[in-house]
Amino acid sequence: GAVVSQHPSRVICKSGTSVKIECRSLDFQATTMFWYRQFPKQSLMLMATSNEGSKATYEQGVEKDKFLINHASLTLSTLTVASAHPEDSSFYICSARDRAGGEIKQFFGPGTRLTVL
């Protein structure tokens, strides 16, 4: 149980392209999903917290107009990187909090590696 999927697993795109990443909780309902980015040999940096049916809460320094988050259902959240540039190249990971299993445990997706040329 507690499986989180992400799609795509990797994407290579040209500068200026918008990229959409999907995060799904496969066997549980997640009222809250989190989006992180991770640079090589660094820890996870929280970008935003996404609650089903409401607007995402962004961390300081994260541009909400650039990183658009939609959490339309209890099993799906999407992150769209608008007009991506090379500096947006990173490993993006989502996590989901199991609604039934308590508030604290977060289960992570496998990550999406974004490369912007």
Partner 1 sequence: QKEVEQDPGPLSVPEGAIVSLNCTYSNSAFQYFMWYRQYSRKGPELLMYTYSSGNKEDGRFTAQVDKSSKYISLFIRDSQPSDSATYLCAMSRGTSGSRLTFGEGTQLTVNP
Of 29 and 106, the one with the shorter C-beta distance to partner 1 is 106
Q: Which segments within the chain are labelled E, that is strand?
A: 4-7, 10-13, 19-25, 30-38, 44-51, 57-58, 67-73, 76-81, 90-98, 106-108, 112-116
* Least CB distance to partner 1 at residue 48 (A): 10
By CB neighbour count within 10 A (0-12 exposed, 13-18 middle, 19+ buried), where does 16 fall? exposed
Of 2 and 76, the one with the shorter C-beta distance to partner 1 is 2
Q: Residues in the site for partner 1, rule: CB under 8 A?
A: 2, 4, 6, 32, 34, 41-44, 46, 49, 51, 91, 93, 95, 103-111, 113
Of 63 and 103, the one with the shorter C-beta distance to partner 1 is 103
* Least CB distance to partner 1 at residue 108 (A): 4
